[in-house]
Structure 1
Amino acid sequence: MLEMQLVQEQRVRLSMTPEMKQSIHLLTLSGQDLNRYLQEAAEENPVLEVEEHAAPLVRLPRKGNQRTFDSYDPLLQVESAEPTLEQLLSAQIRLLDLPPMVKVTAEYLAGCVNDDGYLKTDLAELSSVLGISVDGLQAGLDILQSLDPAGVGARSLHECLLLQIRRDPSAIVHAEQMVQAGLGELVPFHPGKAGTRLGISSREAQAAYNYITQLDPKPCRSIGCQERPRYIIPDAMVELRQGEIYIGLHSAGNLCVSMNETCSHWIRHGAKDEVWSARAAEARAIVRSVQLRRRTLMRVLTAVMSEQVHFLHEGPAGLKPLSLANVAERIDIHESTVSRAVSGKYIQTPHGVFELKSFFTIGIETACGDPTSASVVKLRLKELIRTEQVRRPYSDSQLAALLAGEGIRISRRTVAKYREELQILPSLERKRWS
């Protein structure tokens, strides 16, 4: 028989307070996202004040010699939006002396072209919808395909390549014949076999193939701007001056947050009001969270840059293996906190702007016992392929052997994996026969 009992016991557990959740959330935000969050919070809470603040650069590992970066907003240098692809095509059509019906049809088809320059709408379907004959639509399509850039208005990759070849006065002989034979002849490509099927020499087949690979399969992808451009404003910056490392937060993502003195004085000494007291508590929590975020981010950046000193001197080739656990142990915080601190953050270095996550790479054991990073191995692999003979490119096994000769021991499968991540073709497709 079941009985109900009232039992009292004592337990200890961690309770996640709203302020802790807020601190964790602010730590994950990038500088630009933090700015938007604080500005929205200041608009809703009059007790909170937000103003731009230039953070100093701090020398590592000692403090001192601080320098202030001037505030700079690259968005002020942005030019106005470029005309869209449809506008550029329509402008070309209006300059042509065409019958009114053909001009209207061509302009309509120009509006149906996608961002890559392809016309994916079926003419027969358009004919039934618009009440225009297929011949009339074909006349408009011929005008569209005669516009710049070459290849616009194509309905397939096959047609796009043919349009570019036919409009190029310096096109290689047999290139059109090779495309008309089918794209299956190009991947994988062997000049002897392709030449035999087309009735040409292997040298002519190789020349035609080399020309075709230089054509643009998406001729309009760089024209127009359907989306607003995205800009990366680094959250921090690091400099190397006279052998000393200076690091600081970027002023664009380092707003100064404080309490409004007038409101705070009125709340403390005026009539008690629960609403205003809650507003003041909310503002204090935001100020503490921002200060904690700043301290945590600086500690993480200091630890990372202290470990990646060779990178600051040599660039990406000097990256050393580093894990989140190494940084967490160095500054005595949890690994998840380090992960949140580096998530979505960028840093400006003497070698360009890098995502903070790119400084955390796995280690690969070398023959001398010193580990190297996967990024360094990829750079070396890319260099080996760049300097290979085009008639005798290195296979993955040969690349693994060459790296082993340099003390980097990785398997053929790892070489293939890194090659694919670098978007480099296999040796058979890199080979040039003439």
Structure 2
Amino acid sequence: MLGVQLVQEQRIRLSITPEMKQSFQLLTMSGQDLTRYLLDAAEENPVLELEEQAALLARIPRRMDQRRYDSYDPLLQAKGAEPTLEQLLIAQIRVMTIPDELENMAVYLAGCVNDDGYLTVELAEVQATLGLPMSKIAAGLELLQSLEPAGVGARNLQECLLLQIRRDPSAALNAEWMVEAGLEALVPFHPGRTGRRLGMTSREAQTAYDYITRLDPKPCRSIGCTERPHYIIPDAIVGLRNGEVHYSLHAAGNPRVSMNEACFRWIREEAPDTIWSTRVAEARAIIRSVHLRRRTLVRVLAAVMEEQKHFLVKGPSALKPLNLAVIAEKIGMHESTVSRAVNGKYIETPHGVYELRAFFASGISTTSGDKTSASAVKRRLKEIIRTEQAQRPYSDNHLATLLAKEGIVISRRTVAKYREELQILPSLERKRWA
């Protein structure tokens, strides 16, 4: 027979409240994202008030007299939107004295050029779309390829290089012939084998190869404005004063929020329905989360800069190995909280603006028993390669040996990995044969 009884038992369960979730969310945000979030929150909740930051006064040029230029408008100094690549190409076509049919064909093809300057459609596809003879389409393409910069309108890399070579009066001898023979002969390059195959000396092959490597495979990548620039506003400013680390949070990235006194007084005196009470609770939760975010950032920043004090004095070469666990133990927080605090945050230092996560570098043991950061090893590797002889570049194995002599013991595979991250070619492709 089954019995029924009451049993009392004690359990420990971790539950995350909505306010805790909100605190985690705000801590992960960058300063710009936080400002946008608070603006939206203040727009929806009249109890919440976002304090406006005082706008910086525009600096008037020294030669201007403030009394004479009272109507000076700083917005007039703002840079306007740059024209697109298509607009620049069409502007060149419009000033030419050519038949309307040829002009329209070249304008149509200019609209089919991608950001790098390559034609993205087949001529057969253009013929099927417009119903024009191939001779007129080819004439429009020839006109497009005659525009600036040299190489625009090419259909592949080989044609792009040939267009640049043929427009250059100081082009190296045999460079055009070498490209026409095929790009597969250039990677990897050996002047002796290439010279014998193309009927030239190794010195002539090396000279032509050096010239080809200076050509631009994407001639239009820096022309026109295809996307809005991304500006970084540092979340904090760090520096040294009399040997002591000083830091402060940037006002633009750490906005201040408060309660709207008039609205809060009306709610307290009139005692309206629960909707307004909920609004007050939401506003208080956001204010507490913002204050908690500020305190957490200050603690994390102070701990990181205390560990990386030598960076402020000597620069990036003095970065020491550091991980999240060290900072978490130092400030008495969980490692995941530190990770959220450094995510997407930037700080302004005497050596430039750095992402806060850049100060957490993996450590590499040295023969002296100390540790150095991976970024410092990469910088040293880059310096060694910069000083090598062009005719006898260092192999990855030799680079590992040179670093070992300096006390940095890493394998050849690690050297190859760091070299690829630095976008440095292998020794065979760095070698100059003549």
**Bucket of the pairwise TM-score, normalised by the shorter protein:** over 0.9
Map 1:366-381 to 2 at 5 A: 366-381=366-381
Describe the shift of the 1:27–1:71 C-alpha distance in structure 2 as closer, same or farther (beyond 3 A). farther
Q: Deviations over 1:5-36 (max 9, x none)?
A: 87653322111100000000000000000000
C-alpha displacement of 1:227: 0.9
Measure the CA separation in 2 of the matches of 1:40 and 1:48. 10
C-alpha displacement of 1:78: 5.0
Describe the shift of the 1:280–1:192 C-alpha distance in structure 2 as closer, same or farther (beyond 3 A). same
C-alpha displacement of 1:380: 0.2
Measure the CA separation in 2 of the matches of 1:39 and 1:23. 17
Map 1:344-383 to 2 at 5 A: 344-383=344-383
Residue equivalent to 1:178: 178
Describe the shift of the 1:89–1:131 C-alpha distance in structure 2 as closer, same or farther (beyond 3 A). same
Measure the CA separation in 1 of the matches of 2:367 and 2:253. 44
Contact persistence 1:174–1:205 (CA under 8 A): yes
Residue equivalent to 2:135: 135
Contact persistence 1:113–1:153 (CA under 8 A): yes
Residue equivalent to 1:392: 392
Measure the CA separation in 2 of the matches of 1:160 and 1:247. 51
Measure the CA separation in 1 of the matches of 2:358 and 2:383. 20
Measure the CA separation in 1 of the matches of 2:168 and 2:4. 90
Contact persistence 1:120–1:155 (CA under 8 A): yes
Contact persistence 1:115–1:221 (CA under 8 A): yes
C-alpha displacement of 1:265: 1.5
Residue equivalent to 1:67: none
Structure 1 position 298 matched with structure 2 position 285: no
Query: What is the TM-score with the length of structure 2 in the denominator?
Result: 0.93
Structure 1 position 153 matched with structure 2 position 149: no
Map 1:69-218 to 2 at 5 A: 78-218=78-218
Q: Deviations over 1:28-70 (max 9, x none)?
A: 000000000001100111101111458xxxxxxxxxxxxxxx8
C-alpha displacement of 1:329: 0.4
**Aligned AA (1:16):** I
Q: Deviations over 1:80-128 (max 9, x none)?
A: 1100001000000011111110000000000010110000211111111
C-alpha displacement of 1:245: 1.2
Contact persistence 1:50–1:258 (CA under 8 A): yes
Map 1:173-322 to 2 at 5 A: 173-322=173-322
**Aligned AA (1:203):** R
Describe the shift of the 1:294–1:177 C-alpha distance in structure 2 as closer, same or farther (beyond 3 A). same
**Mean Cα deviation higher: 321-330 or 118-127:** 118-127
Residue equivalent to 1:13: 13
Measure the CA separation in 2 of the matches of 1:431 and 1:52. 59
Measure the CA separation in 2 of the matches of 1:103 and 1:407. 66
C-alpha displacement of 1:4: 9.3
What SS does the corresponding residue of 1:112 show, helix, strand or coil?
Answer: coil
Query: What is the TM-score with the length of structure 1 in the denominator?
Result: 0.93
Identity over aligned residues, as a percent? 70
C-alpha displacement of 1:241: 2.1
**Aligned AA (2:132):** I
Alignment length (residue pairs) = 419
Unaligned runs of 5+ in 2: 60-73
**Aligned AA (1:285):** A
Map 1:35-54 to 2 at 5 A: 35-52=35-52
Measure the CA separation in 1 of the matches of 2:2 and 2:182. 79
Contact persistence 1:324–1:360 (CA under 8 A): yes
Measure the CA separation in 2 of the matches of 1:219 and 1:278. 59
